[in-house]
Amino acid sequence: MLVKKINLTNYKNLSSRSYTFNSSINCFVGNNGKGKSNILDSIYHLAFGKSFFNSTTAQNIMFNKKFFLIEGKFEINSREEKITCSYKKGQKKVLKRNNIIYEKFSEHIGLIPLVLISPDDIDLINDGSALRRKFIDGILGQIFPEYLKNLIDYNKLLSQRNSLLKYFASNQTFDHDSIEIYDLQLEKLGKNIHKYRNKFIRSFSPLFLKRYKKISKGNEIVMLNYKSSLNNSSFGDLLKNSINKDRLFQYTTEGIHKDDIELLIHQKPIKKFGSQGQKKTYLISLKIAQFDYLKDKKGVSPIVLLDDIFDKLDQDRVTNLLKLIIDENFGQIFLTDTHEKRTLKTLKSVNSDFEIFKV
């Protein structure tokens, strides 16, 4: 799995850029605000059909321009593939593979397995459950098309059920039969999603524990715990028992859309009881385990994007992380930094081919 070339037109603050990449390490250096992270985001955009940093499509167009275009040449399973993503104001975003337009973006997910490590990862620990569900969904969606379809369908039905609850409240009415139609569909999809997530945590946890132990070189006890109301109750019962609460709050209060992962250290939440160093090690271990899981299931090494890790990790941690990636033949790596000398010093110490691009 390789990114061979990227062409960018009017993408964020990049008017016209073209890059041909090294098969090992590619580093973008330059001052803040020059577009280093945007180049990494363009690769992410081609893998997932959307930006990681800005979910509003129109805001990914360069100021005072009417469109953006990202073109990428990839080597996938020893074949060259051309992936393009474009958007023009007032029209739908278009994603193509070898000039053939995807009818559904979900059909593309998983073709280009990818792991992104960025400063925003700390939100996995500090923020709410939605980001931790997104972490699980982002991994499973790249591997299992059925899971991704179930999740998309579930979220559509959930939105419709919530709209119906709001309608009932505003019109002071209620129709049990209408709610039951949604409940039956949500129950079927929710059970499948819960099954996938449960199985994932059981397979993923040992990979995470192994990575944490190796990176931390300590005796800390860490754990991932899958929290779901479906662990102890059927989805059908949960929906029936919560209907009065749902009507009061005008949204669906129970279901797999409330699932969470407990991130624990010594059986306590790392958010409250972990040091800054432990949190950084925890996050790196999660992301490296994500790589391990994707590589095992997909049979290829995912692309790795390392965004501004030098500013959030000390020099030794960055060097150790890169050595770990290189020693285990992770594949192609892209990273950004503001200091060229620091980057050169680190890259020379890991004994690997690399290319530096000044932005």
pLDDT digits (tens, 9 = 90+) for 244-276: 999 999 999 999 999 999 999 999 999 999 988
Residue 182, pLDDT score: 97
Residue 329, pLDDT score: 67
Residue 120 has pLDDT above 90, yes or no: no
Q: How far is CA 187 from CA 132, 136, 177, 254, in A?
A: 22, 20, 15, 11
Residue 331, pLDDT score: 79
Residue 311, pLDDT score: 67
Residue 126: closest CA among 288, 17, 319, 276: 276
Residue 315, pLDDT score: 67
Average pLDDT taken over every residue of the chain: 92
322-335: pLDDT as tens digits? 777 766 667 799 99
Number of CB atoms found within 10 A of residue 284's CB: 22
Q: Fill in the DSSP letter of residue 83.
A: E
Residue 86: strand pairing partners = 69, 94
176-197: pLDDT as tens digits? 999 999 999 999 999 999 999 9
The two structure tokens encoding residue 34:
């020059």
CATH homologous superfamily for the domain 125-299: RecF/RecN/SMC, N-terminal domain (1.20.1050.90)
Please give the average per-residue pLDDT across 56-79, as a whole number. 95
Name the pTM for this structure.
0.90
Residues of the chain with CATH 3.40.50.300: 1-113+300-359
3-state helix, strand, coil in the chain (%, to 5): 50, 25, 25
Please report which helix (H) or strand (E) contains residue 102, including its range.
Answer: none
Residue 12 has pLDDT above 80, yes or no: yes
Lowest-confidence range among 159-163, 264-268, 281-285? 281-285
Q: Report angle CA 288, 155, 115 to the nearest 5 degrees.
A: 15
What is the rounded distance in angstroms from the CA atom of residue 115 to the CA atom of residue 187?
Answer: 31
Q: How far is CA 260 from CA 124, 130, 235, in A?
A: 11, 8, 16
Residue 312, pLDDT score: 64
Residue 172 has pLDDT above 90, yes or no: yes
The two structure tokens encoding residue 195:
């099954």
What is the rounded distance in angstroms from the CA atom of residue 130 to the CA atom of residue 150?
Answer: 17
Residues of the chain with CATH 1.20.1050.90: 125-299
What is the rounded distance in angstroms from the CA atom of residue 209 to the CA atom of residue 86?
Answer: 40
Residue 208 has pLDDT above 90, yes or no: yes
Instruction: Decide: helix, strand or coil at residue 220.
Output: coil
Residue 110, pLDDT score: 95
Residue 119, pLDDT score: 82
Q: Is 275 exposed, middle or buried (0-12, 13-18, 19+ CB in 10 A)?
A: exposed
Check whether domain 1-113+300-359 has CATH 3.40.50.1970, yes or no: no
Residue 248: closest CA among 345, 188, 166: 166
What is the rounded distance in angstroms from the CA atom of residue 336 to the CA atom of residue 306?
Answer: 7
Residue 313, pLDDT score: 67
Instruction: Decide: helix, strand or coil at residue 167.
Output: helix
288-320: pLDDT as tens digits? 999 999 999 999 999 999 998 776 666 677 777
What is the rounded distance in angstroms from the CA atom of residue 295 to the CA atom of residue 147?
Answer: 18
Q: How far is CA 329 from CA 152, 295, 299, 323, in A?
A: 34, 11, 14, 10
What is the rounded distance in angstroms from the CA atom of residue 254 to the CA atom of residue 185?
Answer: 14
What is the rounded distance in angstroms from the CA atom of residue 245 to the CA atom of residue 240?
Answer: 10
Q: 73: pLDDT confidence band, cut at 50, 70 and 90? A: very high
